[in-house]
Amino acid sequence: MRRWLRWEWIPALLYMVAIFCVSALSLQRVPIPKISDKVLHGIEYGILAALLVFGFTRTRREWAGSTVALAAWSFATLYGMTDEVHQRFVPGRQSSVFDWMADAAGAAVVAAAAALLVLRRRGAR
């Protein structure tokens, strides 16, 4: 249990708090760049997946790359689902399965790439 409570998880946890806080704001209060909403979702959850890969590779060194990627993707995707449910209760926001799918897609791409990079670096040592 101790290895789950290490400093390596702080970036992912802080980022998840930031996602929650921004999701709690009405869309009128959130500055939105002029790119696709789905691209923004993919980037947002891709970053979360990368932070989760960091945490998993530091605390679960015995895990294979595919396990790290799957765990990071699963956790980021589940968090995206809870965030979409959360947005249903925020005035001026709406929940969308397509946003959640964009979250999952972004998390999948980045989790796989980040796990490969980290594990390649591990093998070089």
What's the structural domain count of the chain?
1
Q: Would you give per-residue pLDDT tens digits along the chain (125 residues)?
A: 555 568 899 999 999 999 999 998 887 666 777 788 899 999 999 999 999 999 998 888 888 788 889 999 999 999 999 999 999 999 888 899 999 999 999 999 999 998 888 777 766 54
Residue 3 pLDDT: 54
> Residue 66's pLDDT is what?
84
Q: Report the pLDDT value the prediction gives residue 100, as an integer from 0 to 100.
A: 96
Tell me which amino acid residue 9 is.
W
The residue range of the domain holding 46 is 2-124
For 32-55, letters b (16+ CB in 10 Å) and e give eeeeeebeebbebbbbbbbbbbbb
pLDDT of residue 125: 47
What is the structure's pLDDT at 4? 53
CA distance 56 to 12: 11
Phi-psi region at 90: left, alpha or beta (left = phi > 0; alpha = psi -120 to 50): beta
